[in-house]
């Protein structure tokens, strides 16, 4: 099992904000953002996180590498424990 990360709420929010800003500026892909969220906020392996959210490790791996074609429901499962959900934003 991976070592638990003890972050304060403000540290968690700073990490989320930084990753979301990179995503919004097209510096990283959605998959890269998911991988960063998983690693920095949970410190869980793909296998551990996939088990936690009840999807296959392969599905999570495909999301993180921007391959495959995940459903909105699957993306929602991945984001929910991180305090986020998928949405539409006007530019």
Distance CA 68, CA 40 (A): 24
* Span 46-66, average pLDDT: 97
Q: Which CATH class is domain 9-82?
A: mainly alpha
Cβ-contact 68, 56 below 8 angstroms: no
DSSP 28: S
Which of 14-18, 33-37, 41-45, 82-86 bottoms out in mean pLDDT, i.e. has the lowest?
82-86
pTM for this entry = 0.87
Average pLDDT for 6-27? 94
Instruction: Measure the CA–CA gap between 78 and 69, rounded to whole angstroms.
Output: 14
Structure tokens at 41: 């906020």
């Amino acid at each position: 099992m991976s070592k638990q990360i003890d972050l304060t709420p403000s540290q968690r929010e700073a990490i989320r904000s930084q990753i979301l800003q990179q995503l919004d500026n097209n510096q990283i892909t959605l998959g890269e953002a998911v991988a960063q969220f998983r690693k920095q906020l949970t410190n869980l392996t793909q296998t551990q996180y996939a088990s936690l959210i009840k999807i296959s490790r392969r599905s999570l791996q495909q999301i993180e590498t921007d391959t495959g074609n995940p459903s909105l429901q699957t993306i929602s499962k991945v984001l929910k424990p991180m305090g986020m959900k998928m949405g539409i934003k006007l530019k």
